């Protein structure tokens, strides 16, 4: 009988079961990378689901939250050109247009002609848009803190360092991400 103070290994998780099946079926391949990549992929999906709960509380999709946050981060007067927004939120200009259309219908952003030759457009937060994103972002940060609290602070710091290093090696040095989600 095992003593209560003895360390017990947790049962294999979903990724470990997949790896075991692949090791059985394809012993010629090293499936070790799945231990990290598979878990990161599953973690990203779970985190996205948890983050979207907050966005939905404010009547926003993840993409709409991203647009409002990009405008708010721009500082006063809280505006950017649609192409800038697309770059700051890592989506195509077509996807950006759809997001802006919905946010404009909701009264959270406005569009106007840009300064200069008048051909360019500018998207700006409205007062209700700024108030909404300020409330939503506050809740978003509380939610992220809650999610990260699953790790001891020292481990969270260690993970941040590892992910920062890895991302720097994979990311475009200009900060662009052509493979980002749309």
Q: What is the full DSSP assignment across 75-136?
A: -TT-EE-HHHHHHHHT--HHHHHHHHHHHHHTTSEEEEEPSSSS-SEEEEE-HHHHHHHHHH
> 144-178 in b/e burial notation, b at 16+ Cβ within 10 A?
eeeeeeeeeeeeeeeeeeeeeeeeeeeeeeeeeee
pLDDT, residue 165, reads 95
Mean pLDDT over the full length of the chain: 88
More confident residue, 175 or 74: 74
* Torsion from C-alpha of 54, 109, 114, 71, nearest 10 degrees: -20
Of the pLDDT bands very low, low, confident and very high (cuts 50, 70, 90), residue 117 is low
CB proximity list for 148: less than 8 A, separation 6 or greater: 156
The model's pLDDT over 26-52, given as tens digits with 9 standing for 90+, comes to 999 999 999 999 999 999 999 999 999
**Mean pLDDT to the nearest integer, 14-32:** 94
Residue 68 pLDDT greater than 90, yes or no:
yes
Rounded to whole angstroms, the Cα distance separating 174 from 176 reads 5
14 to 20, 38, 42, 47: CA distances (angstroms) = 10, 9, 9, 16
Its pTM stands at 0.81
């Amino acid at each position: 009988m095992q003593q209560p103070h003895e360390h017990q290994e947790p049962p294999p998780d979903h990724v470990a079961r997949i790896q075991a099946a692949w090791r059985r079926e394809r012993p010629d391949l090293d499936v070790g990378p799945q231990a990290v990549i598979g878990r990161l992929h599953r973690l990203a999906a779970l985190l996205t689901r948890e983050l979207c709960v907050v966005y939905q509380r404010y009547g926003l999709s993840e993409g709409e939250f991203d647009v409002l946050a990009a405008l708010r981060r721009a500082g006063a007067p809280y505006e950017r050109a649609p192409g800038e927004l697309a770059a700051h939120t890592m989506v195509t200009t077509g996807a950006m247009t759809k997001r802006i259309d919905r946010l404009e219908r909701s009264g959270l952003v406005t569009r106007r002609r840009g300064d200069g030759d008048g051909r360019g457009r500018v998207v700006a937060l409205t007062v209700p848009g700024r108030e909404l994103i300020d409330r939503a972002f506050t809740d978003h940060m509380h939610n992220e803190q809650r999610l990260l609290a699953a790790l001891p602070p020292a481990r969270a710091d260690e993970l941040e360092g590892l992910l920062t290093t890895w991302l720097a090696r994979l990311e475009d040095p200009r900060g662009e991400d052509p493979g980002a989600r749309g």
